[in-house]
Amino acid sequence: MPVDEGTASGWTSEEAERNGYVERSFSLASEMTGGAIPGLYRTPTGPAAERLVLLGHGGRTDKHVDYLVGVSALLAERGIASLVIDGPGHGDRALFEFTDRPDEFTEAWDRGGGTAAVIADWRTALDFAEGQFGARPTGWWGLSMGTMMGLPVCATEERIRIAVLGLMGTWGPNRHDLEESAPRIRIPLRFLVQWDDEVVPRQRCLDLFTMLGSTKKTLHANPGAHSAVPLFESVASVDYLDHLLR
Amino acid sequence: MPVDEGTASGWTSEEAERNGYVERSFSLASEMTGGAIPGLYRTPTGPAAERLVLLGHGGRTDKHVDYLVGVSALLAERGIASLVIDGPGHGDRALFEFTDRPDEFTEAWDRGGGTAAVIADWRTALDFAEGQFGARPTGWWGLSMGTMMGLPVCATEERIRIAVLGLMGTWGPNRHDLEESAPRIRIPLRFLVQWDDEVVPRQRCLDLFTMLGSTKKTLHANPGAHSAVPLFESVASVDYLDHLLR
């Protein structure tokens, strides 16, 4: 049943079939920000999914971003559900329109509640999913701002068992939170780096990988710009989750 | 028919079945060194292999080293033949016994003929294999000294289509040959790095990866010492060759 966004928590749409999965919108009350957490739940057509992957979108995008549609479709092919919410100051939570103004990304992140809100909101979102469908093996997939969110979340949320992270370093508006979270993360993870990243300097990415506390961590690096992760690497990242998320 | 090693070229043993493959020894005349090139050819039991991977062993080991036995077995499972020869100053070509004397690796490499002999010997070995079994899609798998050999070979030998390299950097007795070869290599490759490599400094490895001229190159890095490449990474490297060597 649809809810009044910002005041209640629950589904806000009926199920709709997309390319390879069934999608449903929800809105949850954000403890930290007082506003709404808008999100999408995507589940394979057919039998109920027995595994779940949380998806973190990149900066200046939102829960509808194309590459997460692709990741959700690949996950659904493997029988895995996925869930994505708008990050701080992004998507339906935007506080202003992005232009090319310097520091607007930092402003959106900070005014949107930053790392503290991210941790609380993802806990709320996972609570919601588990309330609806029960507890399931759960992973994380998020690059760039999806790692700005995912690294602190995975370092604090014990229900997440495995992660795909990357395109981020000791850099950006929550750099110190990343540096604080990195040694505390213990789950197996794959970390993607773009060797010619023009947004996050390569060395900052390598430094963050070095700091990660997981004993099972693998860095995959390819030539190219920040947003030019090769398709084979994205597909392989989903296979990685599929093989190890049990 | 067995040949007199060092003076003629051909098989020096009958076929013998090992774990998952059939092995046969050979000895070829080395144009550059005047000595013999001792080697092993390994082929799957069953139908004739339609693909071949050349294996470069690591320093202070030889053509019989355990981890290449494992790689050959994994390749054979996938229907791929493999071939390994002793490198300069190693195995049956050793000029002295390895102890812990400083610089003995460099001495073995240099007195054994170094990069020039490596390039010539591998051409001879591939000529021999093609003479026996015909031309087939051919790849390279070699880490550490296996990359000291493989990078110059792959940069000059147009019959090699794909490579697994790594555990090497702008470092060691043929550093300048590696730096000269790197920009000239054009084939797809995977490059393995051990993040805590105590032999070849990490930064030297990253520098060599950066210099590689291939547009399709992927770095895979894992925690651990030089010789502690995780088993899953070795298996994945064989799958990489299997999927792309056509």
Chain B touched by A231 (CB under 8 Å): no
The 3-state DSSP composition of chain B as helix, strand, coil percent (nearest 5) reads 35, 25, 40
Cα four-point dihedral sign A186, A189, A195, A198 = negative
- What is the chain A residue with the closest CA to B189? A222
B14 pLDDT above the threshold of 60: yes
Instruction: Check the CA dihedral A14-A19-A21-A23 and report its sign.
Output: negative
**Helix (H), strand (E) counts: chain A:** 7, 10
pLDDT given for residue A78 in this prediction? 97
CATH of the domain at A70: 3.40.50.1820
In this prediction, residue B7 has a pLDDT band, given cuts at 50, 70 and 90, of low
On chain A, the residues whose CB falls within 8 A of the CB of B188 are none
Question: Considering CB atoms only, which of A206, A215, A222 is closest to B218?
Answer: A222
Does A136 map to a domain? yes
Q: Is position A3 within any domain?
A: no
Give the number of domains in chain A. 1
* Residue (of A244, A126, A143) closest to A191 by Cα position: A143
Burial B25-42 (b: 16+ CB within 10 A, else e): bbbbbbebbebbbbbbbb
Look at A218 and B217 and tell me if their CB atoms are within 8 Å: no
Mean pLDDT of B42-48: 95
Which residues of chain B are within 8 Å of residue A233 when distances are taken between CB atoms? 218
Inter-chain touch A218–B218, beta carbons under 8 Å: no
**Which residues in chain B are closer than 8 Å to A222, comparing Cβ atoms?**
217-219
Taking contacts as CB-CB distances below 8 angstroms, the residues of chain B near A193 are 219
The answer to the question of residue A64 being in a domain is yes
User: A98 lies in a domain?
Assistant: yes
Confidence band of A2 (pLDDT split at 50, 70, 90): very low
* pLDDT given at position B19: 82
Which chain A residues have a beta carbon less than 8 Å from that of B195? 209-210, 219
At residue B63, the pLDDT reads 98
Contact pairs from chain A to chain B, CB under 8 Å? 34
Cβ neighbours of residue A72 under 8 Å, at least 6 residues apart? A20, A21, A42, A55, A82, A84
d(CA A180, CA A157): 15
Q: Which of residues 179-198 of A touch B (CB under 8 A)?
A: 193, 195
Q: Is residue A5 assigned to a domain?
A: no
**Interface contact B220-A219, CB threshold 8 A:** yes
Characterize the bridge pairing of strands A51-56 and A160-166. Answer: unpaired
pLDDT of amino acid A8? 74
**pLDDT recorded at residue B8:** 75
List the Cα angle B156/B38/B244 in 5-degree steps: 45
Task: Determine, yes or no, domain membership for B2.
Answer: no
Residue A150 belongs to some domain of the structure? yes
For residue B223, the chain A residues in CB contact (below 8 A) are 215, 217
| A218 vs B215, B217, B221: nearest CB | B221
Residues B28 and B36 sit within 8 Å (Cβ to Cβ): yes
Contact A219 B215 (CB under 8 A): no
> Quick one: which of A148, A112, A91, A109 has its CA closest to A32?
A112
B5 domain-assigned: no
pLDDT bin (cut points 50, 70, 90) of residue A7 is low
pLDDT, tens digit (0-9, with 9 covering 90-100), for B145-169? 999 999 999 999 999 999 999 999 9
Domain region containing A124: 10-244
**Does A106 contact chain B (CB < 8 Å)?**
no
Quote the CA–CA distance of A83 and A68 in Å, as a whole number: 10
Q: Write down the ipTM of this complex.
A: 0.92
Q: Tell me: pLDDT of A4 over 60.
A: no
- For chain B, say whether A243 makes contact (Cβ under 8 Å): no
| β-bridge pairing A189-194 and B189-194 | unpaired
Q: Which residue in B208, B242, B231, B226 sits closest to B53, CA to CA?
A: B242
